[in-house]
Structure 1
Amino acid sequence: MINSGRENSSRADLRTRIVRTSMEAFATRGVKSVTMDDVAMMLGISKRTLYEIFEDKETLLIECLSDHHDQMVVFMREVLETSSNVLEVILKGYKKSIEDYRGTNIRFLQEIKKYPKVYELVRSNHKRDHDDAVEFFKKGVEQGIFRDDVNFSIVHILVHEQFDSLMGREIFTQYSFMEVYESITFTFLRGVSTAKGAAILEEFLIEYRSQNKL
């Protein structure tokens, strides 16, 4: 029983290492350019061991994105407990996203669509998070941070669809993903903020751009 428990623990640890290592490789190099052979080699394990845990690359990619989503949910819950208003939570979440996206190859985000089960997971996560996001914005209205004449259900969908529709466009030959991401995010936040919210946002931007020399 003890040996069995250790084996299960070791297997779980290996699974986590595979997922975290693969996610970094996929994000920086793109999905297509990273093979299962590459993953096995990076981890110093046999292909047989890798395929015993993940039957194919799409299954591995699904696990990678699920793990990343779960980590972000945990992070946002922790931020929510220590923040004074919803805009502060959003801006901390933005900074976290920037850290994640800074080394991300745009091909990674574009190539996800080529894996039906993976893309369905992404869409499913968005739909599942939608109601929580809308309620979150409504709380910002109560705090005087966001305008009370905005249909946040519609706007939240539009912002997401805007990101999604740009993935295959030539805009990324002219501008980096970070520039596009920042432009969409802050244009949206300015548009839905009250004077109080706008002041908080501008204060954040001054500090953020100073730190990042933007």
Structure 2
Amino acid sequence: MSEIDKTINATLKLELKERIVTAAMKAFTKAGIRGVTMDDIASDLGISKRTLYETFKDKEALLIECVKQQEKEKEAFGAKLVAESDNVLEVILKFYKVSIEIYQKIDKRFFEDIKKYPKVNELIKESREKNKCNVIAFLKSGVDQGIFRGDVNFEIVDILVKEQIEFMLNAEIMGAYSFFEVYESIVITFLRGISTQKGQIILEKFITDFRKHREEKI
């Protein structure tokens, strides 16, 4: 095989891999991981089961690639928000709006099922630990901007917020209240607690405008 043929073959394999990951993630978040078989994914893409297994040895290997892709997209989106925003709070609030739309499209079964894959959970844990210092440094920069209070231990805050969101995604509370009500209570309460008067003004304006816009859409 010539070098040109090898390049073409590698490109086609990469394109196929990306197609599979995109289709799989869409299916997993819609019906839960256990509710989707490798046969389902192959059928949706119009490829053979053999081709699918030649690309990914099993569902967990495929799920790992889905999570990696999701992390890359999240990182790129975060960098874009930082570049386009005036301060830390603006970045968080923009991300909050987008994350609401994303979470509401994900079936609860996805979060329940993903815990049953040890390698995937280890990957998620490693990713969080890797980004922990960057997240804390990002929050601390809000102190320099006069947005966040300087007497806050952001390491503890980071842990508490992640734990609350994890609890929200797996608790019975989601049966009694809407996703939006619970998620808003976690994020807005957290932001109110760490914001200075300057930050409070920005936050309350966002809340008023955001809720008005949601009511108009409903």
Q: Which TM-score bucket, shorter chain as reference? A: over 0.9
Matches of 2:188 and 2:108 in 1, distance apart? Answer: 20
The amino acid of 2:57's aligned partner reads: E
Task: State the superposition RMSD in angstroms.
Answer: 1.4
Deviations 1:81-128 (A, max 9, x none): 121101111111112212321211111112211111111111111111
Partner of 2:32: 30
Establish whether residue 61 from structure 1 lines up as the match of residue 63 from structure 2: yes
Matches of 1:117 and 1:78 in 2, distance apart? Answer: 29
Partner of 1:199: 201
Partner of 1:105: 107
4+ residue segments displaced more than 3 Å: 165-168
| Number of aligned positions between the proteins | 214
Partner of 2:72: 70
- Assess if the C-alpha contact under 8 Å between 1:146 and 1:192 holds in 2: yes
The amino acid of 1:39's aligned partner reads: I
Matches of 1:201 and 1:56 in 2, distance apart? Answer: 45
Which 10-residue stretch deviates more, 1-10 or 62-71? 1-10
User: How far does residue 173 in structure 1 lie from its aligned partner after superposition?
Assistant: 1.4
User: How far does residue 209 in structure 1 lie from its aligned partner after superposition?
Assistant: 1.7
Map 1:142-157 onto structure 2 (within 5 A). Answer: 142-157=144-159
Q: 1:44 aligns with which of 43, 46, 58?
A: 46
User: How far does residue 187 in structure 1 lie from its aligned partner after superposition?
Assistant: 1.0
Partner of 1:187: 189
Gaps of 5+ in 2: none
Deviations 1:147-167 (A, max 9, x none): 111100011011111222344
Matches of 1:176 and 1:59 in 2, distance apart? Answer: 33
The amino acid of 2:194's aligned partner reads: V
- Assess if the C-alpha contact under 8 Å between 2:38 and 2:59 holds in 1: yes
Q: 1:134 aligns with which of 133, 136, 140?
A: 136
The amino acid of 2:46's aligned partner reads: G
Partner of 1:162: 164
- Assess if the C-alpha contact under 8 Å between 1:101 and 1:178 holds in 2: no
- Assess if the C-alpha contact under 8 Å between 2:168 and 2:183 holds in 1: no
Q: Could you say if the C-alpha distance between residues 25 and 176 of structure 1 is closer, same or farther in structure 2, counting changes exceeding 3 Å?
A: farther
What SS does structure 1 have at the residue aligned with 2:105?
Answer: coil
Partner of 2:121: 119
The amino acid of 2:130's aligned partner reads: R
Percent of aligned positions that are identical? 50
What SS does structure 2 have at the residue aligned with 1:34?
Answer: coil
Deviations 1:161-184 (A, max 9, x none): 122234432112112333322221
Matches of 2:62 and 2:52 in 1, distance apart? Answer: 10
Gaps of 5+ in 1: none
The amino acid of 1:163's aligned partner reads: I
The amino acid of 1:10's aligned partner reads: L
